[in-house]
Structure 1
């Protein structure tokens, strides 16, 4: 069974390739800026009722222009919407903002 676990880890398709899967279901219209791993940031407008997904291997940085604009989940577990600090728009950096709270 040990060999099988190694095969699962080296699988090039499926979830092993993307350890961070963020889902956003928008409840307000919102413009989002997303940077996946080291790629250029992408800016996109979403409307209330839309659902979208992002996948990242190492890092996912996401900025929302509207507070509490979406319900979020990370790898299918509920994730609280980021709070805007000092007047800056709410933003989320994965994995830092989620996994460093211990």
Structure 2
């Protein structure tokens, strides 16, 4: 800051180059310093809304029967869970034909 005639500062005059060096911004006339006083709205397309819903669904925990999973895990660990290859193949065929 400069000291001129016993006053510190720039005597009320602003210089954008000086203000840029000091890291302060010179006030511009007609502004109150508030930014974004106008209300802004955003609307999403149907596709964006669908993507937002899908993202929320994927972020939520999966819905499955934990008791059934635990029972099957126990049967596998005991060697008592049998697989039916024909049933598995039929289910894969059903899924692939959809």
Give me the TM-score of the superposition, normalised by structure 2.
0.23
Greater per-residue helix proportion? 2
Greater per-residue strand proportion? 1
Give me the TM-score of the superposition, normalised by structure 1.
0.23
Q: Quick check: which has more Rg, 1 or 2?
A: 2
